[in-house]
Amino acid sequence: MTVELWMRSEVRATERRAPITPADAAALVREGFAVTVEESAQRVHPIEEYAAAGCTVAETGSWVDAPRDAVVVGLKELPDQPAELRHRHVFFGHAYKQQEGAERLLRRFDAGGGVLLDLEYLTDDSGRRLAAFGYWAGYVGAALAVLHHRGELDAPLRPTSVPDLDARLSGGDPMSAIVIGALGRCGRGADRALTAAGVTPTRWDVAETRDLDRPALLRHELMVNTVLTSAPVPPFLRPADLDAPERALRTVCDVTCDVGSPFNVLPIYDSTTSWEQPARTLRDEPPLDLIAIDNLPSLVPLEATEAFSADLLPLLRDLPRATSPWQRCERLFHDTVASVKEASR
Ligand SMILES: NC(=O)c1ccc[n+]([C@@H]2O[C@H](COP(=O)([O-])OP(=O)(O)OC[C@H]3O[C@@H](n4cnc5c(N)ncnc54)[C@H](O)[C@@H]3O)[C@@H](O)[C@H]2O)c1
């Protein structure tokens, strides 16, 4: 049976990324998938490249009328309509941690008989995420931190490319920097940006923070946090640490952006920063600025799309066989919908 994948247009006008590149769409078509791609005003790859890859081109937003069996693939939020969702949807739903609008989204699926296969929960048997944007998030976060630290970051931020950022990073003055969460995806991306800037960072991961040496941390001029924790750990920095006389730290980039979460390792600020205002002053004298942008990979849409699509391609190939990552996703969806309904009884 032919499986139909329907890549929808993203709702947000600033979202230039896509889950599947034209080259990977071509591979899927060669392997017998029917791939439909909606037109999109902002997607980084033009629709002509998808058409040349053998995809059927459809109008923006036409997934609502797609055949019932089509699997609708996207990245970020769905539009508010229709009220009932009939299809299987693959995207980041942000619907399982009681986020704003989560219950309404789950009820739309329940009403239409559709299923959310949430990309965030597509994991291997050990719980590790299989398709993620982390590497380029860490790269952009560290790049912005270096440029800000040098007084070279212009606002508002606009989508750019890795070669452009690499060129802007090269040739500056040396600085001391630390990456925490250095062994992870974002951490390795941060390392790449710092290397492009001629900086060799101190690299900390779980082993180095077990017995946390805050004074050592504060002796770095620049810090990039890329930790992913699922259990509370002592904060790396608390507000009082920012007033320590030995603080050399001037720029913090919190790629993790767990603000408000009980697992937040940087409870030194209470709201994220943005493309319009990427940096916020936390202390005046000596200065300390924060960058905490929660949509970093969208700033390098081409590289982010290519890396994500490479992760997703083997998983899409497995979709017809309902392998264990997909089964886990589907089970989680049904369990969460059941508990939402139970809670409102
Ligand atoms: N700001 C953005 O735009 C953006 C984009 C993508 C991901 N993220 C976030 O970045 C974070 C990292 O994502 P990832 O894909 O790199 O995760 P990952 O699992 O690949 O890496 C996380 C790293 O943190 C380390 N770690 C965990 N606890 C630690 C501790 N107590 N001390 C030191 N190191 C510790 C882990 O060992 C691992 O190496 C996540 O919270 C993710 O949601 C943010």
The model's confidence at residue 262, banded by pLDDT at 50, 70 and 90, is: confident
Cβ–ligand 1 distance for 184 under 6 Å, the answer yes
Tokens of 199: 């900086």
Q: How confident is the model at residue 36 (pLDDT cuts 50, 70, 90)?
A: very high
Q: Whose CA is nearest to atom 2 of ligand 1?
A: 294
Q: What is the pLDDT of residue 166?
A: 98
Residue 330 pLDDT grade (very low, low, confident, very high; cuts 50, 70, 90) = very high
154 is known to lie in a ligand binding site? no
Question: Ligand 1 atom closest to Cα of 188?
Answer: 16
Does ligand 1 lie within 6 Å of residue 140's CB atom? no
pLDDT of 306 reads 98
What does the pLDDT read at residue 97? 75
Q: Within 10 A of 254 (CB to CB), how many other CB atoms are there?
A: 28
* 114-139 mean pLDDT: 95
Average pLDDT score over residue span 286-310:
97
Lowest mean pLDDT among 178-182, 184-188, 339-343: 339-343
**Hey, which of 226, 236, 303 would you mutate to test ligand 1's pocket, going by the most ligand atoms within 8 Å of its Cβ?**
226
pLDDT at 1 over 80: no
3-class SS of residue 224: strand
Q: How many CA atoms does the CB half-sphere of 56 hold within 13 Å?
A: 13
288-291 vs 279-283, strand pairing mode: antiparallel
What is the average per-residue pLDDT within 121-135?
94
Q: What percent of the chain has pLDDT over 70?
A: 100
The residue ranking higher by pLDDT, 293 or 101, is: 293
Q: Looking at the predicted structure, is the pLDDT value of residue 218 above 80?
A: yes
340 ligand 1 Cβ < 6 A:
no
Q: Which helix (H) or strand (E) holds 43?
A: none
Q: Could you name the CATH architecture of 4-121+302-343?
A: 3-Layer(aba) Sandwich (3.40)
Rounded to the nearest integer, the mean pLDDT of the chain is: 95
CA–centroid distance, 148 to ligand 1, in Å, is: 22
- Please check the confidence at residue 248 and state whether its pLDDT lies above 80: yes
State the pLDDT at residue 236.
97
At 230 the pLDDT is 79
Q: Is 134 in the pocket of ligand 1 (CB under 6 A)?
A: yes
Nearest C-alpha neighbor of 303 from the set 147, 189, 142: 189
Residues 317-334, mean pLDDT to the nearest whole number: 94
Rounded Cα gap, residues 93 and 88, in angstroms: 12
Q: What integer pLDDT is reported at residue 99 of this predicted model?
A: 76
SS3 string of 147-163? HHHCCCCCCCCCCCCHH
Atom 8 of ligand 1, residue of closest alpha carbon: 256
- At residue 303, does pLDDT exceed 90? yes
Q: 293: annotated binding-site residue?
A: yes
Longest dimension (CA), the chain: 68
From the CB of 295, is ligand 1 less than 6 Å away? yes
Q: What is the mean pLDDT of residues 69-88?
A: 97
Q: Does 241 score more than 80 pLDDT? A: yes
Q: Which atom of ligand 1 is nearest to the CA of 141?
A: 1
Q: What pLDDT is recorded for position 316?
A: 97
3 state DSSP class of 251? strand
Residue nearest to atom 29 of ligand 1 (CA): 206
* pLDDT tops 90 at residue 95: no
pLDDT at 231: 84
Q: Count helices and strands (H / E) in the chain.
A: 10, 12
Q: Which atom of ligand 1 is nearest to the CA of 233?
A: 31
pLDDT band, residue 259 (cuts 50/70/90): confident
247 is in an annotated binding site: no
What does the pLDDT read at residue 229? 87
Question: Given this model, what pLDDT does residue 260 score?
Answer: 80
Pocket test for ligand 1, best of 212, 227, 274 (most atoms within 8 A of CB): 227
Q: How far apart are CA 167 and CA 162, in angstroms?
A: 8
Is the minimum distance from the CB of 227 to ligand 1 under 6 angstroms?
A: yes
Above 80 in pLDDT, residue 14? yes
Separation of CA 64 from chain center: 25
Catalytic residues: 76, 94
The CATH 3.40.50.720 portion of the chain extends over 4-121+302-343, 134-299
Closest to 234 in 3D by CA, of 255, 213, 260: 213
Q: Three-class SS of residue 23?
A: helix
> What's the mean pLDDT in 129-144?
97
Q: How far is the CA of 293 from the centre of ligand 1 (A)?
A: 14
Determine if residue 250 is labeled as part of a ligand binding site.
Answer: no
> Ligand 1: which atom is nearest the Cα of residue 258?
41
Residue 37 near residue 7, CB atoms below 8 Å: yes
Q: Give the pLDDT of residue 263.
A: 85
Tell me the CA distances in angstroms from 30 to 24, 27, 51, 251, 319, one per residue in order: 10, 5, 13, 48, 16
Level-2 CATH architecture, domain 134-299: 3-Layer(aba) Sandwich (3.40)
Interface ipTM > 0.95: yes
Q: Looking at 78-174, which runs of residues are DSSP E strands?
A: 88-91, 115-118
Confidence of residue 345 (pLDDT cuts 50, 70, 90): confident
* Percentage of the residues of the chain whose pLDDT score is greater than 90: 89
